[in-house]
Amino acid sequence: MNGYRTLRSRAFRFLGLLILSCVFFTIVWGSRVYAANPRLADTAGLLSADERNNLNNQLDKYSQELNVDIVVITVDQLSGGDAATEGVALYRQAQMGFSNGDAAVLLISMEDRDWGIAGVGSVDRALNSEARDYLGNTIVKDLGNENYYQAFSSFAEKSKKIIADAQNGKKFKKPFRAGFSAAIAAVISGLASLITVGGMKGSLKSVHSKTGASEYVKKNSMNMKEANERFLYTQTSKTKKESSSSNTTTSGNSYSGTSGKF
């Protein structure tokens, strides 16, 4: 009887060790897969260790929720192409994230301060040219102020919303800016004022207007011997127009990209 209990005890211990080994193997293997397929490649060293960890967690969370990759890459310099095209090439070569070819990619190159945003595969349609311009304009101020973590985190958050909306059949629409809304309010207020003043003016009684300036002058009270017109000056104003570059290239899964400077 004691021998049976001893044998059973050994069997349970062996089974427990086997289960623990399987769990350990799963954790180790999972960490290796994760390490081999990151969604952040900060090769230019723009982020601290804590910032890299936080951003990687954010990118992983959003990517898993959407089942597409949101990727951030930083490099010291470009190798000849524009930032968006090279971002897609590096994403594919490194097999980042799910590696299924569906991704929103941001690449930053420090040599000439280039940024590039691309939508790859199914994300191509979600990140149309208007959406890419919006994302670029959203992060360019933080990039210029060297607030790199804030810029990357903002890109991830806003890309997630745009892609999620597209997956739910909602087309991207650029949000109204506060300044633009204020301008509209000012125009509406001005029109209302004109209508009010026009109504008040219409209620006033007035004498008949004269057809010429001479009719307002008393006879023989003014004697003008010579009259001429003289051109004084002209004023010219110029408004600076913003420009951006964009390109669309197809290789394997289709993608579209927009590049700019910060």
| Spans of all domains in the chain | 1-36, 39-174+248-261
Domain spanning 39-174+248-261: CATH 1.10.3720.10: no
How does pLDDT run across 125-181, given as a tens digit for each residue?
999 999 999 999 999 999 999 999 999 999 999 999 999 999 999 988 877 554 444
CA nearest 135: which of 113, 153, 109? 153
β-sheet bridge partners, residue 106: 72, 117
How does pLDDT run across 192-239, given as a tens digit for each residue?
455 554 555 555 555 555 555 455 455 555 554 544 444 343 333 333
| Eight-class DSSP state of 213 | G
CA distance 132 to 258: 6
CA distance 110 to 115: 9
